[in-house]
Amino acid sequence: WSGPESRVEGGGQAVPTSAREHGDLSRLRSSSLEIREKEIREKGSEILREQLDAAKRELKLKDKECERLSQVRNQLEQELEELTASLFEEAHKMVREANVKQAAAEKQLKEAQGKIDVLQAEVTALKTLVLTSTPSSPNRQLHPQLQPSGTRGAYKHVGGHIRNKSASGLPAVDTLNRYFIDRMDSVLYAEFLMWREHPSLDRSSAFLSRIYREDIGPCLSFTRSELSQLVQSAVENNSLTIEPVAMSALPMVKASAIECGGPNGFRAAIETKCALSGVSRLCRHRIKLGDKGSYYYISPSSRARITAVCNFFTYIRYIQQGLVRHDAEQMFWEVMRLRREMTVAKLGFYLTDQG
């Protein structure tokens, strides 16, 4: 048996041939691995660069798309603003046109109402002329042939009726208007016109302050002052209830047997003390203040005074709410009529339920 081949190198030491070859092979393998790893790293770097370039290109495309969408959004917002402005302008134009038409319609309505008032005044004047003409004493204004020849031209035949063109004789339309205007208190009317510009229930206005002082206060001033104040507050707040007492529920009883008011009032015509005046009267009605459970029996005179004030407040509330379509003069005369009712009721005059 012969051992592995060996040789002597530099120092004379023998190195086996197979070991040397094994070292060369190891070095070759190591070098090959390094080369392969280098190739892999270069390949990986190249792939990463390609992916980075692709990502950059995609990001640039997305930036362009975002920019385009932003431009589209800005354009849509601008168009929306222009459309909104156009719609508002059109709406304002329609409102202006509607207001103009409404003003024209109200003017025509007022003119028509004025013409109706004129015609009614003329009819009233003509009725007066007809009623004052009798066979024994004919009205010369209805029979122009009875007038002297020099005055016949002062009358004109219109629609089968005789209309006086002069201001003499019975009052014509203008004369009637002047008659009513002369009767109107200019100070009261001016106060009413100022209140009508901004109608409210605030008693600080000159119009309501005067009526409170001259009409409402005296009309609701009863002997029982504390209850009178509560009644006035309920009338102002529109929370007062007046209801009749049933006639068939209970027979007549003595005044001393019944206390005024109370939550369990009798439903009958009760002869008892009026809760407001303190005088024994036949109380056919009772009142309730707001949501309180107590009832107070009142006499017919007290009821008339409260009702007159309630009617006045109802009418001015209608004016405040815009429910009254009359002109200022008609409103004023209705207010004066309601004031007269309060004055008459305050003096003790009233209509019974039987008229």
List the pLDDT tens digit at each of the 355 positions of the chain. 444 455 544 555 555 567 777 777 778 888 888 888 888 888 888 899 999 999 999 999 999 999 999 999 999 999 999 999 999 899 989 999 999 999 999 989 988 888 888 888 778 777 666 655 445 455 554 444 445 544 444 444 433 343 444 333 444 444 444 444 555 568 889 999 999 999 999 888 999 999 999 999 999 999 999 999 999 999 999 999 999 987 544 334 444 444 444 444 444 455 788 999 888 888 889 999 988 778 899 999 999 999 999 999 999 999 999 888 888 899 999 999 999 999 999 998 877 654 4
Is 53 part of a structural domain of the chain? yes
What span, in angstroms and rounded, lies between the C-alpha atoms of 42 and 351?
Answer: 120
pLDDT at 145: 47
Is 23 part of a structural domain of the chain? no
Could you tell me the residue range of the domain that residue 80 belongs to? 28-128
Query: 101 with 195, same domain?
Result: no
Is 107 part of a structural domain of the chain? yes
Is 35 part of a structural domain of the chain? yes
pLDDT at 247: 55
Query: 57 with 199, same domain?
Result: no
What pTM did the predictor assign? 0.46
Task: Give the dihedral sign, CA 203/209/211/216.
Answer: positive
pLDDT at 138: 55
Is 75 part of a structural domain of the chain? yes
- Residue 271: Cβ within 10 Å count: 16
Query: 47 with 189, same domain?
Result: no
Query: 99 with 192, same domain?
Result: no
Query: 215 with 341, same domain?
Result: yes
Query: 199 with 335, same domain?
Result: yes
Cβ density class 326-347: b for 16+ within 10 Å, e for less: eeebebbebbbebbebbeebbe
What span, in angstroms and rounded, lies between the C-alpha atoms of 57 and 87?
Answer: 45
CB neighbour class for 172 (10 Å; exposed up to 12, middle 13-18, buried from 19): middle
pLDDT at 153: 44
* Amino acid symbol at 157: H
Query: 193 with 84, same domain?
Result: no
pLDDT at 349: 84
What span, in angstroms and rounded, lies between the C-alpha atoms of 78 and 94?
Answer: 24
Query: What's the number of domains the chain is made of?
Result: 2
What span, in angstroms and rounded, lies between the C-alpha atoms of 304 and 59?
Answer: 91
Structure tokens at 189: 């009317």
Is 251 part of a structural domain of the chain? no
Is 264 part of a structural domain of the chain? no
Query: 202 with 311, same domain?
Result: yes
Domain end point (choices 128, 162, 193)? 128
User: Could you tell me if 284 and 305 are in contact, meaning their C-beta atoms sit under 8 angstroms apart?
Assistant: no
Domain end point (choices 109, 128, 147)? 128
Domain end point (choices 81, 113, 128)? 128
Q: Where are the alpha helices (DSSP H) in 206-289?
A: 206-211, 217-219, 225-236
pLDDT at 82: 92
What span, in angstroms and rounded, lies between the C-alpha atoms of 297 and 253?
Answer: 14
φ, ψ for residue 342 (rounded to 5)?
Answer: -65, -40
Query: 300 with 210, same domain?
Result: yes
Query: 123 with 189, same domain?
Result: no
Query: 283 with 205, same domain?
Result: yes
pLDDT at 287: 92
Query: 124 with 190, same domain?
Result: no
User: Could you tell me if 244 and 284 are in contact, meaning their C-beta atoms sit under 8 angstroms apart?
Assistant: yes
pLDDT at 78: 92
Is 353 part of a structural domain of the chain? no
